[in-house]
Amino acid sequence: MVEGTQRRLAAILSAEVVGYSHVVGVAETTKGPTKDMSRRTWLTQVTAFSFVFYALVPTVFAQKRPRRVVEVRIKNRQVIAPATAIKLAEGDLVELRWKSDEQLELHLHGYDLKLVVLPGEPGVMAFRAFASGRFPITSHGWGDGGHGHEPLTYLEVHPP
C-alpha cells in the first residue's frame, strides 16, 4: 500500500521533472535513481529540484519591464512638471499621474485617451506605450467650458 503510493508519487514527480527539465535544460535529474543512489535520495533530489524551479518562476517574471510612473503637474493652464516632454520607451507600462489647479479634460492624441482632472483630485492614465512617436497632449476644456487645443505637452515614445 505504502509502496504503491510511493511509486505513484515518484511517477508524478518524474513526469513533472521531465517537463520542467525540458524548459530548464537539466537532464541529469530525469534519469531516475542510479545504482549507487537509493530511490529515497533520488526522490529528495527531485523534490528539491521542483522547489528550486518554483522559486525561480517569480524571478523570471520579475524581469519584465517595471511600471513607469510620471507625475505631471499643471498650474495656470501650463504643465510645470516635467519641464520637457514626457519621455518613455516603447513597451513601457506607464502610469501618468495628473494634478491640476483647475478642472480640465485631457486628451492624449494618438493613444486617444481622455481624462477629466479635478483640482485636488489626481487623475491617472495607465497604458502600455505600444506605439512609438511624438503625441500631443491637449486640453479639451478648462473649468466649465472654454475649448483650448494648444498642446500642453508631448508624450515621446522612443523605439527600443
Q: Contact positions toward Cu ion, by CB under 5 A?
A: 107, 138
In the complex, minimum distance from the CB of residue 86 to Cu ion, in angstroms, rounded to a whole number: 16
Q: Which is nearer to Cu ion, 107 or 117 (CB)?
A: 107
Q: H-helix or E-strand containing 90?
A: none
Of all residues in this chain, which one has the CB nearest to Cu ion in the complex? 107
In the complex, minimum distance from the CB of residue 91 to Cu ion, in angstroms, rounded to a whole number: 25
In the complex, minimum distance from the CB of residue 140 to Cu ion, in angstroms, rounded to a whole number: 6
The three cell numbers of residue 77 are 493652464
Q: Which is nearer to Cu ion, 19 or 146 (CB)?
A: 146
In the complex, minimum distance from the CB of residue 19 to Cu ion, in angstroms, rounded to a whole number: 51
- CA-CA distance, 34 to 28, in Å (whole number)? 11
Determine the Cα angle at 40 with ends 37 and 43, to 5°.
95
DSSP string of 31-78, one letter each residue: G---TTS-HHHHHHHHHHHHHHHHHHHHHHHHTSPPEEEEEEEEETTE
In the complex, minimum distance from the CB of residue 114 to Cu ion, in angstroms, rounded to a whole number: 8
Q: Which is nearer to Cu ion, 132 or 138 (CB)?
A: 138
Cβ(72)–Cβ(79) below 8 Å: yes
Q: Which is nearer to Cu ion, 33 or 141 (CB)?
A: 141
Q: Which is nearer to Cu ion, 32 or 143 (CB)?
A: 143
Nearest to 72 by CA among 108, 105, 112, 100: 100
